[in-house]
Amino acid sequence: MPASPPSPGPQSVDRALAVLDAVADADRPVGAKALARRLGCALSTVYHLTGPLLARGYLVRTAEGYAPGPRVPALYRSHQRHHGLGAGTGALLGRLRRATGAEAYHTAYRGGLITVVDTTAPVTATAHPFAPGPEERAHATAHGKALLAALPRPLRRRYLAEHGMARFTERTITGTERFEAEIERVRDRGFAVSVGEADLAYTCLAVALPERGDGIVHALSVSLPTVDFGRRQGEIRAALIRAVPEFPALPES
């Protein structure tokens, strides 16, 4: 018997999300033909996928092509609310970026997951190693170490068991006991460093934020080229520590 065709539901959802990603990542509106080329599908499929997105406000159609719609800011506000963020987090990251000359990030641990919540790196700057979304390399990043160091040992062990400790470079820590020793260093120093562990070209520094009673662990971090790390680590670490008390308070309920 021939193999059953793939379910159209999940594939349609995946392609619709690919449309949203393509439009969001572009620096100007994207035409239907360009979307069809990017997705490797027929033009009629693009129109089929964008119809519901237009109707629900996730996209708008302009003379130049598709652009993010009015529903997107509402999603962002919901994202901020669910991550326990007050107003001003983006402004704080901007100040940290200006103070250090390095891209700044806000990450969070919640319910067994680590997420890159926000960053100053443009979405089109694909060279930067940390993009908003689920963090799959937490054990190899400074923000991951800072967040995991703030957890009780059983939760940390559970996270590592569930997500693994893949090797990304020759510097990646892949052993549990060695990682625990690294966590102790993070706690002693009050900050975390990853020198080329997730990406040889980049080094990141991070500090965890004090517990705010929202059940979420937050961290601020910056990344810079590894070649610049040695001469700038002191000033960048100082800027991170200064930024901690500026982190916005919990949003009002």
Q: What is the pLDDT of residues 24-55, one digit of tens each?
A: 888 889 999 999 998 888 899 999 899 999 98
DSSP for residue 201? T
The answer to pTM > 0.85 is no
Rounded distance, CA 174 to CA 166, Å?
6
In sequence order, the β-bridge partners of residue 66 are 30, 61
Token representation of residue 247: 């982190």
| Residue 4 confidence (pLDDT) | 34
Mean pLDDT per block of 10 residues along the chain (253 residues) reads 41 85 87 91 90 89 88 70 66 91 92 90 70 89 97 95 96 96 96 95 94 84 91 92 82 42
Token representation of residue 84: 């326990």
Question: If you count them, how many residues does the chain have?
Answer: 253
C-alpha angle 69-73-75 in degrees, rounded to nearest 5: 100
Q: Are strands 202-208 and 133-134 parallel, antiparallel or unpaired?
A: unpaired
**What is the helix (H) or strand (E) element at residue 232, kind and residue range?**
helix 226-243
| Residue 147 confidence (pLDDT) | 97
126: helix, strand or coil: coil
Q: What is the pLDDT of residues 97-110, one digit of tens each?
A: 999 999 999 999 98
| Residue 124 confidence (pLDDT) | 61
